[in-house]
Structure 1
Amino acid sequence: MKLLVITDAHLITQNGQKVAYAPYVKEMNLWMSQVDHTTFICPNKIRGPLLGLPFKIQDFKQIALRRLEFHTLISALISFLTIPYQAIVLWNAMRKADHIHLRCPGNLALLASMIQVTLPRKRKTAKYAGNWDPESKQPLAYNMQKWILSNTVLTKNMQVLVYGKWKSQTKNIKPFFTASYYNNDKEPIIDRNFKQPLKAMYVGTMGANKRPFETVQLIKFLRSSGLDITLEMYGDGPVVEDIKWYRKENGILDQIVIRGNQPGHVVKEAYKNADLLILLSKSEGWPKVVAEAMFWGAVPIVSSVSCVPWMIGNDKRGILIHDPEHIGAEYLGKQLTNKEALLEMSKEAAEWSRQYTMDTFAQEIKKLLQ
């Protein structure tokens, strides 16, 4: 089988190896292992560093297309001029493939989603890695992709993989997930008694969307209300210096530790020993760190965005924050002193997350390609 993958994700060469964003590579390794040959259509140049991982299978074809960008007048003009060429390249590659796999959302993926309409007999899948919530506010390009992909009159012979279960969806929309661990990674959950001091952690980019600064403020407010709680932060980004200043100004240097970017095995050990994971994101697709923390029994405190309510069972497996701007430290503090409830959430979180392993992920991909 010849698999064609169309994506806006960068795929570059480093030290003689083809590499891409690490979580994406781990998933694509599973797709590539099920087919005879893979072709990627994607950008091959990137500005700045890439948290890259080499593909296990290096023998694949890459067709380089520039990203379609419209942030400035010049980039928009160049993008519009290149669209006809890109459309021809995409259509020719689609015509030769046995299975077309789109990675959405993205501008290149939007163009590809339009072109696939002309090939109704081709077998296709689309992985929509953004927020599929029909009620959420999305950029126009994202809404267009969602409309085309879910329109079964235009889009034929395609399964669209989305995060979460949503009401009133067309028959080609399939709830999906992203896994991090294998079945053989499962270990007994460390016994937590949820006694103070509670150990919380944050994992992710230190940028405005993930609200790391607001997470630090929450810890400070919880401590001020009488709850003994500490925080370890894993990640890096533009907000780090603000957090360092805030810790010093508020006398909580010892209670909030910044670990920076760490390898997976270090973060894994932190999950095992943490009581809580806090993630107050403004937007998410599939919040991988939430699923990983739940796998090890850490109770998530998460904003109610995208598929998160589905993941944590509407407060059954964690604590939903509906308004991160007005959380209410006293209210949350009461929830965090209810040890029995936290123990039940921890148990439910681990049981739910451990359904979604890389092994089950591989089986789902195999079914999709059959």
Structure 2
Amino acid sequence: MAPCIVSDKISEIDIAYHSENIEFVSVPSFDFLNPVNAIKALGTIPLIFWRILRTMGKAYHIHLRCPGNMGLLGSIAQLFFPGKKKSAKYAGNWDWSIRQPKSYRVQQFLLRSTFLTKNMKVLVYGEWPDKTKNILPFFTASYSDLDVLPFVPRKIGGVDTPVELIFVGTLSKNKNPDICIEVVKLLKENKIPCNLHLFGEGPLRKTLEELVHVSALEDCVTIHGNKPAEYVKQYYQRCHFLVFISDSEGWPKVVAEAMFWGCLPITTKVSCVPQMLDFGSRGVLVSKDPIDIYEQISLLINSQDEYNRMARTAHEWSTGYTLEKFEMEIGNVIND
């Protein structure tokens, strides 16, 4: 069950579902982004809620995707079915110590409550101190066991081997891709050859293009836009660092993907990312200050062995989380 948005524009990273085993139940979309939409939502929500209850009543297993508007209604509706098997994927940041929307807190409260929510397994990213028997630390995956390759050390630094940086994600304020460009400026100012590859689309694209032009970095910064996974994989395999300075994440797949191909992540301390990086032993945890990021890169450029040790450790960890393991664990959740 979900809202269905019909559009003729399909990007290179989108694909339609084709399966006889999927029945799509469409409901109206709603949000509370402005007063007009909020008033419309109040009239629409009772109908959506009734459809959710009716559909849940037919299900053997109920699965929710939270946080979100539909997740909020679903987390309330599932309370009426204490005897059914249920699971929820909480795709956001579970950390209660950070500021989050109140609707997210409501969903977290309902999902973790063993008094209100029965027969539920809540898949969350990372280990957190508020764990109840409903909570199951989980992961996600992008690649198969067949994709796993031996780790190959990479030479870094020098005129013949410029530092290759990659960013993968939405070109939006939340992801801070502009910081990546600021890091390149610092590297160039300090005579360190480098290249930056930005993958993704978003509202900041024109701003980033202007920043590249004003900074005279056209020769070393490329904005590729959205590209298929196989194309991006080629850059993970050749780049030294993923620079991913996001404000909020759940389990950032791009961090795990970079590690899978031996590309060392440089990223912020959000959600379970410090746990993914073993608190700095298989990746670099930084602030949003470009100088901090530049200094960390400079240190590793001058320590080839340490760079490859960390990249190897990152590769070994990430290749343990494949699609086959993911499928097996999902099976355990459904069948247990």
User: What is the TM-score when the length of structure 2 is the normalising length?
Assistant: 0.93
- Determine if contact 1:189/1:272 at 8 Å carries over to the other structure: no
Worse-superposed segment, 79-88 or 104-113: 79-88
Tell me the equivalent position of 2:244. Answer: 279
Which of 88, 91, 107 is residue 50 of structure 2 equivalent to?
Answer: 88
Tell me the equivalent position of 1:208. Answer: 173
Aligned-pair distance for 1:237?
2.1
> d(CA) in 1 for partners of 2:21 and 2:123?
26
- Are residues 1:132 and 2:132 paired? no
> d(CA) in 1 for partners of 2:216 and 2:290?
23
Worse-superposed segment, 57-66 or 89-98: 57-66
Aligned-pair distance for 1:141?
0.6
Tell me the equivalent position of 2:60. Answer: 98
Aligned-pair distance for 1:78?
1.5
- Are residues 1:190 and 2:155 paired? no
User: Per-residue CA shift, 1:312-361, capped at 9, x if unaligned?
Assistant: 11111110013447636345422442212111110011011001100000
- Are residues 1:45 and 2:5 paired? yes
> d(CA) in 1 for partners of 2:49 and 2:103?
17
- Determine if contact 1:114/1:148 at 8 Å carries over to the other structure: yes
- Determine if contact 1:87/1:111 at 8 Å carries over to the other structure: yes
- Are residues 1:121 and 2:86 paired? no
What is the number of equivalent residue pairs in this alignment? 330
Which of 252, 255, 272 is residue 307 of structure 1 equivalent to?
Answer: 272
> d(CA) in 2 for partners of 1:325 and 1:268?
26
- Determine if contact 1:285/1:307 at 8 Å carries over to the other structure: yes
- Give the SS at the match of 2:279: coil
2:5 maps to a residue whose letter is K
> d(CA) in 2 for partners of 1:323 and 1:307?
17
- Determine if contact 1:280/1:324 at 8 Å carries over to the other structure: no
Structure 1 pair 356/347, CA: closer, same or farther in 2 (3 Å)? same
- Give the SS at the match of 1:327: helix
Tell me the equivalent position of 2:184. Answer: 219
Give the structure with the higher percent strand. Answer: 1
- Determine if contact 2:91/2:250 at 8 Å carries over to the other structure: yes
User: Per-residue CA shift, 1:257-301, capped at 9, x if unaligned?
Assistant: 222221111101111111111100111121111111100000001
User: Per-residue CA shift, 1:40-62, capped at 9, x if unaligned?
Assistant: x1111256845431224244222
2:188 maps to a residue whose letter is R
Structure 1 pair 167/323, CA: closer, same or farther in 2 (3 Å)? farther
Structure 1 pair 292/330, CA: closer, same or farther in 2 (3 Å)? closer
Tell me the equivalent position of 2:194. Answer: 229
- Are residues 1:316 and 2:275 paired? no
Structure 1 pair 262/46, CA: closer, same or farther in 2 (3 Å)? same
Structure 1 pair 300/63, CA: closer, same or farther in 2 (3 Å)? same
Tell me the equivalent position of 1:267. Answer: 232
Tell me the equivalent position of 2:323. Answer: 358
User: What is the TM-score when the length of structure 1 is the normalising length?
Assistant: 0.85
Worse-superposed segment, 340-349 or 325-334: 325-334
- Give the SS at the match of 1:111: helix
- Determine if contact 1:225/1:333 at 8 Å carries over to the other structure: no
> d(CA) in 2 for partners of 1:230 and 1:56?
39
- Are residues 1:107 and 2:69 paired? yes
Alignment of 1:137-176 (within 5 A): 137-176=99-138
- Give the SS at the match of 2:15: strand
Aligned-pair distance for 1:100?
0.1
> d(CA) in 2 for partners of 1:48 and 1:134?
40
Aligned-pair distance for 1:190?
3.3
Structure 1 pair 177/49, CA: closer, same or farther in 2 (3 Å)? farther
Structure 1 pair 367/328, CA: closer, same or farther in 2 (3 Å)? closer
Tell me the equivalent position of 2:213. Answer: 248
Structure 1 pair 336/302, CA: closer, same or farther in 2 (3 Å)? farther
- Determine if contact 1:321/1:327 at 8 Å carries over to the other structure: yes
1:190 maps to a residue whose letter is V
Structure 1, gaps ≥5 residues long: 1-40
Structure 1 pair 335/366, CA: closer, same or farther in 2 (3 Å)? same
Aligned-pair distance for 1:188?
2.4
Aligned-pair distance for 1:67?
2.2
Q: Percent identity?
A: 38
Aligned-pair distance for 1:119?
1.2
Which of 197, 218, 223 is residue 258 of structure 1 equivalent to?
Answer: 223
Worse-superposed segment, 326-335 or 303-312: 326-335
The RMSD of aligned alpha carbons is 1.8
2:3 maps to a residue whose letter is P
Tell me the equivalent position of 2:203. Answer: 238
- Give the SS at the match of 1:62: coil
